[in-house]
Amino acid sequence: MANWIGVITNAGNNLLAEWVNGKLLTFEHAAAGSGTVPAEALQTQTALTAQKQTVHIMGSERVSNGIRLKLRITAPQTGYTLNQFGIWAKLGEVTTMIALFQHNQGIPIPSANEAPDFVYTFFATVMASNMGNWTIRVDPSALATMQDLEKKLDRAGGTMTGDLYMNGYSIYDAEDMLAKRGRFSDGVLISGPFSVSEKNGSPLFALSGYQRSPGHEIVAELYGNQPGTSIIICGVAAPKNGNEAANKGYVDGEIKKHATSLLHSPPTESTSGEIGQFAIDQDTGLIYKCVMKTHDGRYRWEPIFSGGDITKTLNIKGERIFFEDSDGNPVFFIRAYGGKMFIGGSTPGNRVVVSGVDDPQNSDDAANRNYVDNQIATMQSEIARLEKMIKTQQNK
């Protein structure tokens, strides 16, 4: 509503003051005209400076500061410069111009001969603090009849220009379509591709649909009307179910969440990441997973194999695999060299204790202490038996 100024007239303020105790306010009609008055004189006006045509009231809705009316004018027989909109309402029998809107520079309105499909839509807010019940009087001539539609649209597949009105609402541009979606009680059946064009007739995109075969999925296609034209679909919500379309924010977030960072040292609480993200220490080959992000900007990373089981073969390339305690201190390492495996402490002088070793079954199995001690005890027992046998033979 740039360059438009509006006021509640003095008569309108008196009318709104009486709008109490369940009275019904009826918006009777609106009008458009030429000519202006000084801004300080707007409230005292009771009519337009020079009325040119009747304005259709297309709808109304409650807003935070009053009532918003949707006004629409079509091309008149004679063109003029639009400067004023007036709205008339009543509580009883007397109709009063309740509001006046003025555009000092003016807007050219072409004649019906110059632009037969011309329309101009204006949203007027009537500010009121004592909101009660209201109604609007819709001009039936503003609604299209079936005969009007048949004149506009060739049933064999022609084009429609101008507005299409349904149940008092019109589809004219994208803004109207979004604002009025869901207000039609019946479906609209369209046979063949549905094309959307600019007001100058330039094609934008087309929508069509078909079923691959009986009992199979239905395919909806949205494509540009010109070769090489791409389509951007805006306003897509983040998907909640597996068969819903995903928006860019959701896809980028999921990729970032599961992306893997390459590090040259183990991640610390200051290493940023997303929960579920992995990080690899390239120097040790260890893999970490971000499991927590605190409110003060700290992060918790855990080795992904700590306390878990590896059910598949894990191939790790590197000379050594280092193991750390819960505080991140190095404990020992495993090294493969020359076809052999070595276990050693991570710092000089450290010794490694390998526990949980079963009794060996084969000659190349690792032996635990119990096995060795038992073997030594058995051998000492056999030595003692032999020594006793030798002494017995010597005494004979």
Reported as a pLDDT band with limits 50, 70 and 90, residue 375 is: confident
pLDDT per position as a tens digit, 246-276: 878 877 777 666 566 677 788 888 888 888 7
Q: Considering the domain boundaries, does residue 109 fall inside one? A: yes
Reported as a pLDDT band with limits 50, 70 and 90, residue 351 is: low
Under a CB-based contact definition with an 8 Å cutoff, are residues 351 and 345 in contact?
yes
Q: Looking up tokens 């002494």, which residue turns up?
A: 391
pLDDT per position as a tens digit, 124-148: 989 887 667 888 887 666 555 445 5
Last residue of a domain, one of 289, 317, 345: 317
Last residue of a domain, one of 142, 165, 181: 142
Cα 66 to Cα 61, 85, 215: the distances in Å are 9, 18, 52
Mean pLDDT of 8-28: 86
Q: Looking up tokens 């807003």, which residue turns up?
A: 63
| C-alpha radius of gyration, the chain, whole number | 43
d(CA 274, CA 260): 10
pLDDT per position as a tens digit, 231-243: 777 777 888 887 7
> Of residues 334 and 81, which shows the higher confidence score?
81
pLDDT at 260: 63
Reported as a pLDDT band with limits 50, 70 and 90, residue 33 is: very high
Reported as a pLDDT band with limits 50, 70 and 90, residue 314 is: low
Reported as a pLDDT band with limits 50, 70 and 90, residue 175 is: very low
Give how many domains the chain has, as a whole number: 2
Under a CB-based contact definition with an 8 Å cutoff, are residues 278 and 288 in contact?
yes
Residue 196: phi and psi, rounded to 5, are -120, 130
Residue 15: phi and psi, rounded to 5, are -65, -45
Q: Considering the domain boundaries, does residue 89 fall inside one? A: yes
Tokens standing for residue 42 = 């707007």
Residue 305 sits in which domain range?
256-317
pLDDT per position as a tens digit, 94-119: 899 999 999 999 999 999 999 988 88
Q: b or e along 43-65 (b: 16 or more beta carbons within 10 Å of the residue's beta carbon)?
A: eebeebeeebbebbbbbbeeeee
Q: Considering the domain boundaries, does residue 121 fall inside one? A: yes
Last residue of a domain, one of 99, 116, 142: 142
pLDDT at residue 172 tops 50: no
Mean pLDDT of 329-351: 67
Amino acid of residue 219: V
pLDDT at 383: 81
Q: Considering the domain boundaries, does residue 84 fall inside one? A: yes
pLDDT at 308: 45
Q: Is 41 exposed, middle or buried (0-12, 13-18, 19+ CB in 10 A)?
A: exposed
What is the residue-averaged pLDDT of the chain?
75
Mean pLDDT of 29-33: 94
Mean pLDDT of 52-73: 88
Q: Considering the domain boundaries, does residue 40 fall inside one? A: yes
DSSP 43: G
Sequence-separated (6 or more) residues with CB below 8 Å from residue 361: none
Tokens standing for residue 230 = 């791409």
**Which percentage of the chain shows pLDDT scores above 90?**
20
Q: Considering the domain boundaries, does residue 149 fall inside one? A: no
Q: Considering the domain boundaries, does residue 114 fall inside one? A: yes
Q: Considering the domain boundaries, does residue 113 fall inside one? A: yes
Query: What is this structure's pTM?
Result: 0.40
